[in-house]
Amino acid sequence: MDEVGLTVPPDAGAVSAAELRERVGQHLVFSIGRGATAARLADWRLALSYAIRDRIVVPWFQTAERINAADRKRVYYLSMEFLIGRLLDDAVANLGLESAAREAMAGLGVDYDALVRDEPDAALGNGGLGRLAACFLDSMSAVGVAGLGYGIRYDHGLFRQSFEAGWQAEEAEDWLAQPHPWEFERPEASFPIGFGGSVGPGAGDAGAWHPAETVIAVAYDTPVPGWQGRWVNTLRLWSAKPTREFELQAFNRGDFLGAATPAVLAETISRVLYPDDSTPQGRELRLKQEYFFTAASIRDILQRFERRHGDLAALPDKVAIQLNDTHPAIAGPELIRLLVDERGLAFDAAFDIARGCLHYTNHTLLPEALERWPAELLGRVLPCHLEIVERIDARHARESAAAGRPSDDGTAILGDGEVRMGTLAFVAARRVNGVSALHTRLMQETVFGGLHALHPERIVNQTNGVTPRRWLHGCNPPLRALLQEAIGDGWVADLDRLEALVPLADDAAFRERFAAAKRANKVRLAPWLAEQAGIELAPETLLDVQIKRFHEYKRQLLNLLETVALWNAMRQAPEVDWTPRVKVFGGKAAPGYRMAKLIIKLINDVARTVNDDPAVRGRLQVAFPPNYNVSMAERLIPAADLSEQISTAGLEASGTGNMKLALNGALTVGTLDGANVEIRDRVGEENIFIFGLTAEEVARRRAEGYAPAACIAASPRLAEAVEQIASGRFSPDEPERFRAIVEDLRGHDRFLVCADFEAYWQRQRAIDAAWRDRAAWTRSAVLNVARCGWFSSDRAIRGYAKEIWNAETEF
C-alpha cells in the first residue's frame, strides 16, 4: 500500500456520502466506461459495488498483515458449495455505509433499493449445506478467525426454475453474464491438476503418478468483510482453464473444432454446479470437480505454510482444514500424496500430519446420500489416490484389530467394489461433527456406530447457526428498527443480547409495535406475492410458509394433504369462522428427481383449484412463487407467521431455515427433528407447535412393519384427500397424473406421511385457534426472537474454533 502512496483510512466505514458519490461517478466513467446519461441500472450498480469494494480492500490487507504478524493458525473451509446470494447490500451494511450509500445514490438520481435488487444471486449451492458455508464465511470474519473458504467458481450456478403448466422447468443460470464486481482474478495463483494416467512401480515414491490429462486451476478471490469491516477474510474460488488454449497444429490443419477441444474439455470441470441436494451424483465429472478444487486448495495451503515454516510436522499447529461434507474427502489422500511423493515423508508420518489437520462435517444420515465411488472409477480418474486409500484402509484395519474390533464390523473404507467417502473422511479426520444434537447422537448410534466405538472422542456436535447480519439485520428493516430502539444494536455482533427482549414480551405496547413490524413486512411482501403467484395477502391473514428444497423426507406432501383436507372442511362447513391462511410453498427439485417434481405439479394443481374456488375466497389460498433462492428467502422470512419444519423425525440433520424463521418471529409447526429439538428447548414448549412421531418411534414403526393403509382408513379426512388426488379432482385433464404419489402413499409411504397426518391436522387446528388470540401469539413470537440468539452462526464458529480447530478468535 505504502509503495503506491495510498493512505490507509483508519476506519473502513469513514466515508461521507459526498465522497462516496464522487467515487461512484469515477468508477462509472473509468471502470465501467460509461457516462451518467447513458448509464443503465446495472452500470450504476457496478459503479457503486466497486466504490464499496474499495472500502474493503485496505482492511483486507490489514487483516492479512495481522494474521501473518501473529503467525495465527489458519482455518480452511473446503466446500463444493457456497450459496451466497447478493453481496452489495450485505457489504454496505457490514461497513455501516447504508445511509451514505442511499444518500450518494439519491444525489445521483438513482434508487438504492432498485440497485440492490438488480444484483443477480450468486447461487453456487443447492440448499442448506451451501448456505451454511456462506453463513460460516460471514461469521469467521465477524468473530475474527483467520479463515479462508475454498470452492469452485461455477460458470453456472443452480438452475433457474419456472413453471410450465405447473411442471418445473429448468433453465441455465447465468450469474456471470455481467461482470462480477466483488472478485479479483489471480492468474498467478494457479496449479496444474492432473487426472487419469498411470502409477509407476513403487507407488508412493517420488514422481510415481503420471497423469494423462492436466487442467489449470486459477484462483478468484472475493474479500469477505465482517461486521463493521474490522476483519476481512477471503473466499477463493477455483476456475478450470486449459493448459493450452488451443492446439495450433490442429488449427493449421484446418481442424478448427478439434483445435478448441482441449479448452472445452478442461473448462467443463468448473462449468456447472450439480443440482443435487442430499443425493449425490456418481458421475465422473462430479468426481473430477471434487478432486479439482480439493487438490488446488491443498496445494495452496501447503505453499502458504511452506513460505513461512520449514518443519512439516508443525502443519497441524498452523493449519486446520474443515471438510464440508464428503465432497472434499479426497483431501486426505491428496495431502498424504504430496507429503510422501513430493516431500519424501514416510506414509505413517504423512498420515499423522494429515489427520492432525483434517476435520469432517457430516450433513446427512440418509443412506442414499452418503457418497460412494466405484473403486474402478476412482482408480481410473485418480489411480495414485486409490492406492493411498488402500493403504489408509489397511492402516485403519490394523488399528481396529489392535483395539480388538471384529474385522467385519462394517467400518472398512473399501467394500463391495466401492470407496465409502464418509468412512474415508472419518478415518482421516481428527474430529467429525454432526450439525445438531439429535443428528450427532444418531451418527454415533447408527451410521458411524462402529467407527464411534473405535474412536469415541472423535465425533462432536456443532449445531448449525445462521448469520444475524443477513438473516435479521439485513432482511428485516422494520424489526431491526424496533430492536434498535428497544435494546440498541449490540445484538448484531452478539445475538445472545436478544434475551433482553424477554421481559418486553409481557409489555402490551411493545407487542403492538412488534406486531406492527410483522404487518409492515407483510404489506411489503403483498404486491410481490400478487405478481409472482396471483395471491392477495391481507395483513390479518396467517402467512404459513414451507420454503426449502423439494425432497420426500421434508414432506411438502404432508402440508399439501392438510391443505386439501382444510379446503374440504371449509367447503363442508362454510358457516364456521375459519382462520384465514395463505400457504406459501417455495423450493426446487433436482431435475432428475421425478417424485419431487410430481409433487411440485400437484401443489400447482391444488393451488389452481383452491385459489379459483369462491367457496374459500379470503380464507384459504396457496402460493407457489417460482425460483426460490436466497433473495426470495430474504423477502418471505420476515413476513412469515408460521414456519413449516415437518420432516420425518430422524432425517433432517439440522435445518437452518427453521432458525431463520424463528429468529424473525415466526412460530414453528414441526416434528422433533434436527435443530427443531433445540429450538423447542430454547423457546419453550408453549411457544412452538410440536407434533408427530419421534425419531425412535419412527424407527420402531418401521421395524414393526409400517402399513399406511391403516392410517388412511383411520382418518376420513386423509382418506378423502388421497381419494380426490387419485380420482383426478385436481387434474381433470389427466386423472391418472398423480398415480405414483397415491400408490406410494397407500402402499409404502417411506416417510410416514400418513402416520403423522392426524397429529399434524390437530396441531394445525390448534394453530388456527392460537392465531385468534393475537396478544398471546405475538407474545410467543417475541419470545421466539428473544430466545433464538443462540442460533447465530457466530456461536457455531466460536464452537468450531474452540472445540475443533483449536484456533483463536479476535473478537
8-state DSSP, 480: H
- Stretches 128-136, 576-584, 611-619, 777-785: which one binds ligand GL7 (CB under 6 A)? 128-136
Least distance (Å) between residue 279 CB and ligand GL7: 8
Catalytic pick among 548, 555, 737, 787 = 548
Contact 434, 426 (CB under 8 A): no
Spell out the alpha helix ranges (H) of 534-653: 556-572, 594-611, 630-639
Taking alpha carbons only, the member of 280, 286, 378 closest to residue 333 is 378
Report if residue 422 touches ligand GL7, rule: CB under 6 A.
Answer: no
Report if residue 340 touches ligand GL7, rule: CB under 6 A.
Answer: no
- C-alpha cell, 172: 441455465
Handedness of CA 281, 797, 92, 631 (dihedral sign): positive
- C-alpha cell, 262: 482441449
Least distance (Å) between residue 142 CB and ligand GL7: 19
588 carries an active-site annotation: no
Give the nearer residue to ligand GL7 in terms of CB position, either 351 or 426: 426
Give the nearer residue to ligand GL7 in terms of CB position, either 290 or 300: 290
Give the nearer residue to ligand GL7 in terms of CB position, either 49 or 278: 278
Among 80, 115, 132, 134, binds ligand GL7 (CB under 6 A): 132
- C-alpha cell, 277: 441436494
Count of residues of this chain found to bind ligand GL7 when the rule CB under 6 A is applied: 18
Catalytic pick among 541, 579, 656, 671 = 656
Report if residue 678 touches ligand GL7, rule: CB under 6 A.
Answer: no
Least distance (Å) between residue 657 CB and ligand GL7: 8
Which helix (H) or strand (E) segment is 233 a member of?
Answer: strand 232-242
Contact 580, 620 (CB under 8 A): yes
Helix (H, G, I), strand (E, B) or coil at 584: strand
Least distance (Å) between residue 554 CB and ligand GL7: 9
Give the nearer residue to ligand GL7 in terms of CB position, either 25 or 674: 674
Least distance (Å) between residue 467 CB and ligand GL7: 14
Q: Exposed, middle or buried: residue 37 (CB in 10 Å: 0-12, 13-18, 19+)?
A: exposed
Contact 779, 511 (CB under 8 A): yes
The amino acid present at 372, given as its one-letter code, is R
The amino acid present at 499, given as its one-letter code, is E
396 carries an active-site annotation: no
Spell out the alpha helix ranges (H) of 41-127: 41-70, 88-94, 98-107, 112-118
Site string for ligand GL7, 633-672 (x = CB under 6 A): -------------------xxxxx----------------
Report if residue 674 touches ligand GL7, rule: CB under 6 A.
Answer: yes
Catalytic pick among 549, 588, 597, 798 = 549
- C-alpha cell, 576: 364456521
Catalytic pick among 288, 660, 729, 795 = 660
Alpha-carbon distances, residue 127 vs 137, 550, 597 (angstroms): 16, 10, 17
Report if residue 126 touches ligand GL7, rule: CB under 6 A.
Answer: yes
Report if residue 464 touches ligand GL7, rule: CB under 6 A.
Answer: yes
Least distance (Å) between residue 366 CB and ligand GL7: 8
Report if residue 121 touches ligand GL7, rule: CB under 6 A.
Answer: no
For 622, phi then psi, to 5°, come to -125, 125
Kindly identify the residues of this chain, within the stretch 431-460, that bind ligand GL7 according to CB under 6 A.
435
Kindly identify the residues of this chain, within the stretch 360-399, that bind ligand GL7 according to CB under 6 A.
363-364, 369
Least distance (Å) between residue 619 CB and ligand GL7: 33
Bridge partners for 225 per DSSP: 232
The full length of the chain comes to 811
765 carries an active-site annotation: no
Least distance (Å) between residue 653 CB and ligand GL7: 4
- Stretches 71-79, 123-131, 289-297, 798-806: which one binds ligand GL7 (CB under 6 A)? 123-131
CA dist., res. 472 & res. 479, Å (int): 8
Least distance (Å) between residue 677 CB and ligand GL7: 13
What is the DSSP pairing of strand 418-420 with strand 431-434?
Answer: unpaired
Among 80, 123, 129, 679, binds ligand GL7 (CB under 6 A): 129
73 carries an active-site annotation: no
Site string for ligand GL7, 275-314 (x = CB under 6 A): --xx------------------------------------
CA dist., res. 674 & res. 59, Å (int): 38
Catalytic pick among 21, 74, 156, 554 = 554
Give the chain's radius of gyration (CA, Å): 27
Alpha-carbon distances, residue 482 vs 489, 501, 503, 524 (angstroms): 10, 11, 15, 17
Triad 171, 176, 178: Cα angle to 5°: 110
Give the nearer residue to ligand GL7 in terms of CB position, either 278 or 423: 278
Contact 549, 277 (CB under 8 A): yes
Q: Which residue is nearest to ligand GL7 (CB)?
A: 128
Give the nearer residue to ligand GL7 in terms of CB position, either 24 or 129: 129
Contact 362, 322 (CB under 8 A): no
671 carries an active-site annotation: no
CA dist., res. 656 & res. 95, Å (int): 25
431 carries an active-site annotation: no
Among 25, 128, 223, 474, binds ligand GL7 (CB under 6 A): 128
Least distance (Å) between residue 77 CB and ligand GL7: 13
Residues that bind ligand GL7 (CB under 6 A): 126-129, 132, 277-278, 363-364, 369, 435, 464, 652-656, 674
Annotated catalytic residues are 363, 548-549, 554, 656, 660
